[in-house]
Structure 1
Amino acid sequence: MRRTQVSMAGWVLCVTLVLAALAGAQGQSYQAFQQKHVDNPRTRLPARNYCNTMMARRGMTRPVCKFTNTFVHAPGMTVARACSRTPDGQGYYTTPNRLSVTICRLSGGSPRPPCRYRIAQTVQHYVRVGCRGGRPVHLQNTIP
């Protein structure tokens, strides 16, 4: 009986690891990038409600509050132009032009819902991304 319990525990661990790997791979897709970071044209909301509404709509408030997120107000293919450029020393690509972005930050100390956000800034920045297959899959940061 003990051997069966060990085998079952190993099987459960294996399935858990496979599911975690699949979830990670799913998060690294062009579609996931667009869902998290592209808001074009910028959703018309009052500035005081923008981050709270967008973070909730885009699924970044469950199961925990994402600390910070950047929304790019340009078409996804405009951001994708970065992927055709030469990467920097860390393997990231930068857009050829500055793009309008809104950076949202969690306000308050708890990462547990309910999540409350504020606009840290809305600016024109170059966008630095990680690419796969010629498309952005990760937003690393923005550069003034």
Structure 2
Amino acid sequence: MWSSKVSCSLLAHPAILLGLLLVRSGEGQSREAFVWKHIDYPKSYPTSHPDTYCTLMMMQRGMTRYVCKETSTFINDFPISVVQVCRGRGTPSSNYFDSTDSFDMVLCRYTGGPPPYNCRYSGKPAHLRIRVTCTGNHPTHYVTQRT
């Protein structure tokens, strides 16, 4: 009886530690994922041809690997400016923060073609406010742009 309590206790502690590590690493991945999916500064490609920009960015960032993602937005502004939305340069709204400033960005929309290498996109340059979810003073989810 005592040995079964000890073995259960020994198994529970590593499980708790593993759970804490997964939660902690998930936060870091979420921040990194936000930057990877939505920040492109300095611009990787010229936006003078926004359709080509979107097609290349979506492929480069892995958003055409299995399916052609329908839409995405790439913010072409200083990353720290986007982080500041979570640190006082944004207005809390429900579970989100609406930026007080506008950002240069390109809005990308899928127009056709099969994955992974033939997804085509149209791009529209814009200068808009954004809405993000923040975790630990960092943006972790892009919700939408705000006009």
- TM bucket normalised to smaller: 0.7 to 0.9
The Cα offsets for residues 32-75 of structure 1, whole Å up to 9 and x where unpaired, read as 10000001122233514101100011110011111000000112
Task: Find the counterpart in structure 1 of residue 143 from structure 2.
Answer: 140
Count of paired positions: 120
Query: Per the alignment, in what secondary structure is the counterpart of residue 87 of structure 1?
Result: strand
3-state DSSP of counterpart to 1:83: helix
Compute the displacement of 1:27 (Å): 9.3
Q: 1:12 maps to which residue?
A: none
Q: How has the CA–CA distance of structure 1 residues 82 and 115 changed in structure 2, closer, same or farther, with 3 Å as cutoff?
A: same
What is the DSSP-based 3-state SS (H/G/I as helix, E as strand, rest coil) of the residue aligned with 2:64?
coil
Q: Is the 8 A contact 1:128 1:141 kept in 2?
A: yes
Structure 2 unaligned blocks of 5 or more? 1-21
RMSD: 2.4
Give the structure with the higher percent strand.
2
Equivalent-residue separation in structure 2 for 1:106 and 1:141 (angstroms): 17
CA distance in 2, matches of 1:27, 1:60: 20
1:27-106 counterparts in 2 under 5 A? 29-45=30-46, 46-47=48-49, 48-85=51-88, 86-89=91-94, 91-106=95-110
Q: Which runs of 4+ in 1 moved over 4 A?
A: 25-28
Q: Which amino acid aligns with 2:136?
A: G
User: How has the CA–CA distance of structure 1 residues 27 and 68 changed in structure 2, closer, same or farther, with 3 Å as cutoff?
Assistant: farther
Which amino acid counterpart does residue 54 of structure 2 have in structure 1? C
Q: CA deviation at 1:77?
A: 1.5
- Whole-Å Cα distance in 1 between the matches of residues 114 and 142 of structure 2? 21
Unaligned runs of 5+ in 1: 1-20
- TM-score using structure 2 length: 0.72
TM superposition score normalised by structure 1? 0.73
> Judging changes above 3 Å, is the alpha-carbon distance between structure 1 residues 53 and 27 closer, same or farther for their aligned structure 2 residues?
farther
Question: Is 1:116 matched with 2:120?
Answer: yes
Larger radius of gyration, structure 1 or 2?
2
